[in-house]
Structure 1
Amino acid sequence: MSDILPVDQLEVLVLVDNVTDSLSANSPVAISEWSGLLTAGRLPLLSGRCTCCAHHGLSLLITVRVGNVAHTVLFDTGPEASTFLRNAEILGVDFAAIDSVVLSHGHWDHGGGLVVAIEKISKARNGQKVECFTHPGMFAERALQRPNGELLKFESVPDPDVLAQAGANVVNTRAPQFIAEGAFYLSGEIPRGTSYETGFPGHVRRSDDGQSWEPDPLIMDERFISVYVKDKGQIVFSACSHAGIVNVLTHARSVFPSVPLYGVMGGLHLSGATEKVIPETVADLQQFGLKLLAPGHCTGWRAMSALARVFGDELVPSAVGKRYTV
């Protein structure tokens, strides 16, 4: 790949996340939902009607500035349309300013609001097609096999034809991509190198015959986004880290070896059956010299506690409505 374009500033607005937290103290790089709404004059009354909803899922609005030019990418859309739309309205999202949409992987809690998001962006841009980046492996039916053998099926993400009808120009490929004139790097499939990051236990997908099910713990359709902030380094957005966050950061560093890693944001998937790898993960994260960790979504409270003990003020957990500026 060519060198990634350095940007002057990065801003991230959390549209959907598992938690809401406007009471905890924040790092200088972040402001909470309520503080941001008050500053913008968008909180006339402290009430449930005027504040965002948390929901199991993730959606990040990522904006970079290069000189006087801004580029915005919507990274995932949360679990369903109503939460996405409600929070976007409360937070004052300008849909016309969104250049592209990226679906990180084919799970309902990241793609449930995808169709309505594309419709809103296309309408705000006077019917213009919206670039939507997907991976061919995202569209298979998936499920979680429970210990008793029963399958808990997942809602499938919208297929490329449905996305196209909503107004998307679907870029459906396994290959890595540069987005917005090189300001965003969207990875290809993430190599798996560590011995302990073995994916999502019990995760299965429909076989090609459309009848049987097959193991799918690695979820190879997952990708990450990286942004290079000038004079700081790469900030990596990993929506669920089914590949393992150490594998994710190792790959990001290998793609752009001359650009140091600065931060990571998103779900680290260290909850549930993957809690057992928290010690190895936290230990190996220290090798990257990160200045900012903003975990959320599927990270889990046990992992968050372990990260807090090691990283201290570098840890700035994600929450719905929170805005980060780097």
Structure 2
Amino acid sequence: MKLSIVYDNEANNGFISDWGFSCSIETGDWHILFDTGASGEILVHNLHRLGIHKEEIDIITLSHKHWDHTGGLRAVLHPGVAVCLPSSFPLSFKKYIAKKAARVVEVSEPKEIVPGVYTTGELRIARLLSEQSLVLKTKGGEGVVVLTGCGHPGLDKILEAAKPFGTLYGVIGGFHGFNKLELLHELEVIVPCHGTIRKNEIMRMYPQKAARCGAGMVLEF
């Protein structure tokens, strides 16, 4: 399974950094884009730098409705793509997608999206706002890697929701204001990305396990 960071606050040479997040997931049979950053122009630039064209994307999964995760969506919609989003998204948003994409898949409960890729289901943030994270099974059988958008529900809550899918092996994405850093000690891969307030502290605390995120980063599991 290949993960490529497409959009982040930091970026490798040749990529554009910006406030927001997006990650490409290639399973071998399926190509999933998790979140779309804030700008379609930047998203497409970084995708092309990775050698990815929108027509190759089978599924777009949105973690939550904030602009820095959905702003680039318009630029990557195409008639063959399915869009998987929390059911709490506004009806107007769903109707717009239904006109541009193959289908809209609403998520409320944990379930398998494609073989080896699962959603935690909606984790409530506020009355009208929920966030989903993805859970990815590693090819080598080490366990599961959790992919988060912003981490608004709390990283501890997200990790707990991922446990039914397998042994926790790693976490990648936004950790938001998560401060129970000792809970990360059992993980082997820690990649704090967009919006992680304690990123530097995590890097110091887990120097052998943590890696600095940035657009253009590629990981394989």
TM-score by length of 2: 0.91
Shift >4 Å, 4+ stretches: none
Given candidates 130, 133, 139, the residue that maps to 2:90 is 139
Aligned counterpart, 1:14 = 5
Alpha-carbon distance in structure 2 between the residues aligned to 1:63 and 1:219: 31
1:219 is displaced (CA, Å) by: 6.7
Given candidates 104, 108, 111, the residue that maps to 2:67 is 108
Alpha-carbon distance in structure 2 between the residues aligned to 1:132 and 1:94: 16
Given candidates 45, 70, 78, the residue that maps to 1:86 is 45
Q: Greater helix share, 1 or 2?
A: 1
Which residue identity lines up with residue 109 of structure 2 in the other structure?
A: A
Aligned counterpart, 2:135 = 226
Work out whether 1:311 is the aligned partner of 2:221. Answer: no
Work out whether 1:292 is the aligned partner of 2:199. Answer: no
1:220 is displaced (CA, Å) by: 4.7
Spell out, residue by residue over 1:158-210, the C-alpha distance to the aligned partner (whole angstroms, 9 max, x if none): 70111112124011231333122x2210121237xxxxxxx6xxxxxxxxxxx
Spell out, residue by residue over 1:220-250, the C-alpha distance to the aligned partner (whole angstroms, 9 max, x if none): 5201100111321100001111011111111
Alpha-carbon distance in structure 1 between the residues aligned to 2:212 and 2:187: 14
Which residue identity lines up with residue 70 of structure 2 in the other structure?
A: G
Spell out, residue by residue over 1:40-81, the C-alpha distance to the aligned partner (whole angstroms, 9 max, x if none): xxxxxxxxxxx221110001001123xxxx321100000121
Alpha-carbon distance in structure 2 between the residues aligned to 1:305 and 1:226: 25
Which residue identity lines up with residue 137 of structure 2 in the other structure?
A: Y
Aligned counterpart, 2:148 = 238
Alpha-carbon distance in structure 1 between the residues aligned to 2:44 and 2:123: 31
Alpha-carbon distance in structure 1 between the residues aligned to 2:55 and 2:200: 39
Aligned counterpart, 2:168 = 261
Alpha-carbon distance in structure 2 between the residues aligned to 1:87 and 1:78: 11
Alpha-carbon distance in structure 1 between the residues aligned to 2:55 and 2:172: 25
Which structure 1 residue ranges, 5 or more long, are not aligned? 1-9, 23-33, 35-50, 123-127, 141-157, 192-198, 200-215, 271-276
2:40 and 2:75 in contact (8 A); partners too: yes
Work out whether 1:53 is the aligned partner of 2:16. Answer: yes
1:261 is displaced (CA, Å) by: 0.7
Q: CA RMSD in A?
A: 2.0
Which structure 2 residue ranges, 5 or more long, are not aligned? none
Count of matched residue pairs: 220
Work out whether 1:64 is the aligned partner of 2:27. Answer: yes
| Structure 1 pair 185–297 and aligned structure 2 pair: CA distance change class (3 A) | same
Alpha-carbon distance in structure 2 between the residues aligned to 1:318 and 1:219: 30
TM-score by length of 1: 0.63
